[in-house]
Amino acid sequence: MYGFDHRKSRAYTTKLLDMAEQGLIDWETLARDALGWMSEAEVQEFAARNDYICPDEEDEDEDEYDGQPDEAQEWHDFDPEC
């Protein structure tokens, strides 16, 4: 009847997926090119919406110990009475 034809409405998407499934292009290359094409904000939204990276995980690297004292430790070392 009058159904929605996803293949016609997303012709380029369908073509790229078909090419990757047929081995004509590499999945990894396709993914890297797509991520490189998107802005960082789009990649962030994509990663969050598809549960690749939870918003809470984004700044985990910043919380890791870097070998340097934090501000409280520096003040303590400067003046233990403080």
Q: What is the pLDDT of residues 35-69, one digit of tens each?
A: 999 999 999 999 999 999 987 665 555 567 777 77
| Residue 79 lies inside a defined structural domain of this protein | no
| Residue 77 lies inside a defined structural domain of this protein | no
| Residue 28 lies inside a defined structural domain of this protein | yes
Number of domains composing the chain:
1
Domain that holds residue 5: 1-59
Q: Is the CB of residue 16 less than 8 Å from the CB of residue 25?
A: yes
Q: Where are the alpha helices (DSSP H) in the chain?
A: 6-9, 11-21, 27-37, 40-49, 60-63, 71-78
| Residue 74 lies inside a defined structural domain of this protein | no
pTM strictly above 0.85: no
Between residues 58 and 29, the one the model is more confident about: 29
| Residue 36 lies inside a defined structural domain of this protein | yes
Which two three-digit tokens encode residue 4?
């929605």
Q: What is the pLDDT of residue 19?
A: 97
| 9 pLDDT tier (thresholds 50, 70, 90) | confident
| Residue 11 lies inside a defined structural domain of this protein | yes
| Residue 25 lies inside a defined structural domain of this protein | yes
| Residue 75 lies inside a defined structural domain of this protein | no
